[in-house]
Structures are given as structure tokens and as C-alpha cells.
Amino acid sequence: MSEATLILVKPDGVARGLTGEILRRIEAKGYVVTGLRMLEADRELLAAHYAEHEGKPFYEPLIEFMSSGPTVAIRAEGHRVIEGFRSLAGTTDPSTAAPGTIRGDLGRDWGLKVQQNLVHGSDSVESAERELGLWFS
Ligand code: IDP
Ligand code: MG
């Protein structure tokens, strides 16, 4: 049974011209891109997407950052793609994300209130279904 996940190239990734490199890594791994769109996410979409983080110290900076420019939303499919893409992305903090991962190879800490770490990937089947509904409705 195939599985689908939501991947976002965040505004820092788009602004740095890394959309192609990130798509390349997803496809090179063997996952199939079955949806692709570029959009400027509004506050309503971002509040729904990041509802679990409301009230945290980085929440407002996160919403502001994610509103700062276009995002590329990707629907990717494959057996265990949710776990597999999280592994490709690397850990949240780009300073310590393992080399070989998207965040480890291409990201760094810019000393801001929120980590600009290039990509988002859904973290469970439930999140993936919810998030794909938000970004590809
Ligand atoms: P994830 O993207 O690795 O799943 P989450 O905990 O879901 O990480 O956090 C969502 C986003 O919020 C992160 O990707 C990052 O941009 C930002 N973020 C998370 N934790 C922190 C933090 O402790 N300081 C600054 N920014 C953070
Ligand atoms: Mg997360």
C-alpha cells in the first residue's frame, strides 16, 4: 500500500533557489511527486497547519516567516514516505542536522527567532492527511 505525505519548500528554500535541489533529492530517493503547487500561504492556512505550535515562543516568528514569500507544496508518494522524507530532511535544528540531509547540507542557523530550515514534512499518517487537505484542497 502506498502512502502520501505533504512536503513544503519553505520561503527560505524558495528564495535561495533550492526548490529544484529539494525536488531532486525527493525523486532521487525514489518517491513519486503526485502534486505540486506554489503559493503565498495566508495566515489562516498557516494557523491551521501549525495549530499544534500555538502559544510556543517561536509561533509568531514562524507564522511571519512562513508568510514572507512563496512556498512550494509537494505531495509525494511511496511506501513509508512519511518516515523516509523526515529522514531525508534531517532534524529541526540545521546546525546539528546530519550531513547528507537537506537541512544538514543546505541549512544553517541565521540567529533568528525561528529556525529557517528549508522544508516541512508531515510527521504521521494523520498529519499527512490533514495537511494535504489544507494545502491541496
Ligand atoms: P519539524 O519541522 O522538524 O517537524 P516542529 O517541531 O514541527 O519541527 O516545528 C515547526 C517549525 O518551527 C520548525 O521546522 C522550525 O522552523 C520551527 N521551530 C521548531 N522548534 C523551534 C525552536 O525551538 N526554535 C526556533 N524555531 C523552531
Ligand atoms: Mg513538525
Dump pLDDT digits (tens) for 42-59. 999 999 999 999 999 999
Tell me the best of 67, 115, 124 to mutate to test the pocket of ligand 1, counting ligand atoms within 8 Å of each CB and taking the most. 115
Backbone angles phi, psi at 64, to 5 degrees: -65, -45
Tell me, what DSSP letter sits at residue 76? E
How close is the Cα of 30 to the center of ligand 2, in Å?
23
CATH number at residue 90: 3.30.70.141
Nearest to 135 by CA among 40, 14, 11: 40
> What does the pLDDT look like over 65-115, one tens digit per residue?
999 999 999 999 999 999 999 999 999 999 999 999 999 999 999 999 999
CA separation, residue 94 to residues 49, 83, 125, 126, 131 (Å): 21, 18, 25, 26, 23
Structural domain boundaries, residue 9: 3-135
**Residue 1 pLDDT greater than 80, yes or no:** no
Active site residues: 120
Tell me which of 58, 60, 86 to substitute to probe ligand 1's pocket, judged by most ligand atoms within 8 Å of the beta carbon: 58
Question: How many domains is the chain built from?
Answer: 1
Return mean pLDDT, the chain: 98
Q: Quote the pTM value.
A: 0.98
The pocket around ligand 1, CB under 6 angstroms, is made up of: 53, 58, 62, 92, 114-115, 117, 120, 123
